[in-house]
Every structure is written in structure tokens, then in C-alpha cells.
């Protein structure tokens, strides 16, 4: 699976993607990261890619012609992207279902903004707009990484335990059950007795009950969606 990411700060993405499980997955050829600097499409010696917004207002806007050049480049890739995603607060809210959908694709392109975002005309040039939540970041790099990691970990063999991600929070529609490891008793905080019994049916029932209870207490909105 290939990810093409266009950003004004490609080094931020490279630093993260060149370490950990994603780097190992890349070394194995399971995923590929194509990180590009939007400034390479600038036409002046100062590498400007933004300008002041028409009508006035604060901040700078990334120009539509810069984004269009990036999109045209990625469309001419050996494997054309299945999705060209614009990161935008106006986009659909990213969730596990979307991650699972994207994980079935061969090539995803992500446009990562800075400043006041992209010229609104870029919206007509992409296939999808996505937001990772109702809060403000200084740029789209963290959002891009969140989407990449949530999606790439679903690609077969990227994580060691093929069953693990199927049991994680949100994959089942519930929060995950609580997990414990050694020491068995730490400052009088003890591991639940049922987990020490070795009785798998009882453990499974306890975990299901805990997942449901946690979801009711902490994220009842997930149950409402069900």
C-alpha cells in the first residue's frame, strides 16, 4: 500500500515514518511512503506557495495552482491514487470505519495544509475531505500521521498479531477491555482474580462485560450509534 503525502514540512513526516513499526513495514515492502514538499511547485526564487486571502482577513492561504500541480503529479504515478484526501476541518470525521475502508486501497494521497489552509477551489480537485476532530492544530502533519498509522496498521502483516487490531477499541464498536500484566499486586492494586484463573470462557465473558461497562461510562455515544 502506498501513501503519498504533500506537506510544507516533509521532514516532520519523515522523522516519524522512518522509525518504529511503520519503518519496518516499509522495509518489508508492505507499505510505501512518498513524502513531497509542496514548495517544489513554487515558481519564484523564494519558494512562496501561499498568498493573502481575497476580501481581507488574517493569515495566508495555500494557492490552488500549487495544490493542482501536486495533484497532477501524483495522478501520473505508476499506480494512480484511489483517493486524494484534503485534510480540512470541514471534512468528514475520521474514524475506525474510514480507516478500514482506506486500508483496502492501493494508493492514498494526502494534502496537508498550514496557515489558513488551502484555497477553497482545491476542494473540487480532490476525492475526499477528512477531519480528525473538532480542535485546531498548527498544521496538517499530525492529522496526516494519524490517518496513515490508523490505516497502515490494518494492512496484513504490518503488526505482529493479526487478531490484535480486531479487538482494539472502536474495531468492535466498544472501548477495549482493561489489560493487566506483572506485577500481580502493586501497592495493593491487584490484578482481577478472574484473569489469574486460566478459565478462558470466564475471562472472555469478563472482558466483554468490562468493555461494555467502560463504553457505557466513558463513551455512551458509541452505544447510541449501534
Q: How many CB atoms sit inside 10 A of residue 46's CB? A: 7
CA distance 35 to 18: 11
Which CA distances in Å does 1 have to 30, 77, 132?
A: 6, 13, 21
pLDDT at residue 168 in the model: 62
pLDDT at residue 171 in the model: 67
pLDDT at residue 169 in the model: 57
162-194 per-position pLDDT tens digit: 555 555 656 688 999 999 999 999 999 999 999
Query: Catalytic pick from 53, 73, 82, 89?
Result: 89
What value does the mean pLDDT of the chain take? 94
Query: And the C-alpha cell for 50?
Result: 501561499
pLDDT at residue 160 in the model: 76
The answer to whether 153 is a known catalytic residue is: yes
The answer to whether 121 is a known catalytic residue is: no
98, burial (CB in 10 Å: exposed 0-12, middle 13-18, buried 19+): middle
Low-confidence ranges of the chain (pLDDT < 70): 161-171, 226
pLDDT at residue 192 in the model: 97
Indicate the CATH number for domain 169-225.
Answer: 1.10.1270.20
Q: Where are the domains of the chain?
A: 2-152, 169-225
pLDDT at residue 162 in the model: 59
Query: Catalytic pick from 100, 116, 129, 176?
Result: 116
pLDDT at residue 225 in the model: 77
Which CA distances in Å does 50 have to 38, 77, 209?
A: 10, 25, 53
| Domain 2-152 matches domain 169-225 at the CATH topology level | no
Topology given in CATH for the domain delimited by 2-152: Alpha/beta knot (3.40.1280)
Helices 141-152 and 10-17 sit at what angle, rounded to 10 degrees?
Answer: 30
The answer to whether 183 is a known catalytic residue is: no
Cβ–Cβ under 8 Å, residues 47 and 23: no
The answer to whether 65 is a known catalytic residue is: no
pTM of the model: 0.89
Query: Catalytic pick from 77, 92, 168, 209?
Result: 168
Amino acid at each position: 500500500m502506498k501513501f503519498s503525502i504533500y506537506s510544507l514540512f516533509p521532514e516532520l513526516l519523515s522523522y516519524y515514518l522512518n522509525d518504529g513499526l511503520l519503518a519496518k513495514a516499509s522495509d518489508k515492502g508492505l507499505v510505501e511512503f512518498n513524502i513531497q514538499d509542496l514548495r517544489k511547485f513554487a515558481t519564484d526564487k523564494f519558494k512562496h506557495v501561499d498568498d493573502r486571502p481575497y476580501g481581507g482577513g488574517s493569515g495566508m492561504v495555500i494557492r490552488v495552482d500549487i495544490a493542482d500541480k501536486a495533484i497532477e503529479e501524483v495522478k501520473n504515478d505508476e499506480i494512480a491514487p484511489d483517493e486524494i484526501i484534503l485534510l480540512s476541518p470541514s471534512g468528514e470525521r475520521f474514524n475506525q470505519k474510514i480507516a478500514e475502508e482506506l486500508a483496502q486501497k492501493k494508493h492514498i494521497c494526502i494534502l496537508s495544509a498550514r496557515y489558513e489552509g488551502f484555497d477553497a477551489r482545491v476542494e473540487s480537485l480532490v476525492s475526499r475531505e477528512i477531519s480528525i476532530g473538532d480542535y485546531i492544530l498548527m498544521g496538517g502533519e499530525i492529522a496526516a500521521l494519524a490517518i496513515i498509522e490508523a490505516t497502515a496498521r490494518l494492512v496484513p502483516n504490518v503488526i505482529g498479531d493479526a487478531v490484535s487490531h480486531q479487538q482494539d477499541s472502536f474495531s468492535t464498536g466498544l472501548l477495549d477491555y482493561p489489560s493487566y500484566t506483572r506485577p500481580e499486586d502493586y501497592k495493593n492494586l491487584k490484578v482481577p482474580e478472574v484473569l489469574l484463573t486460566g478459565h478462558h470462557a470466564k475471562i472472555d465473558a469478563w472482558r466483554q462485560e468490562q468493555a461494555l461497562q467502560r463504553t457505557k461510562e466513558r463513551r455512551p455515544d458509541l452505544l447510541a450509534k449501534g
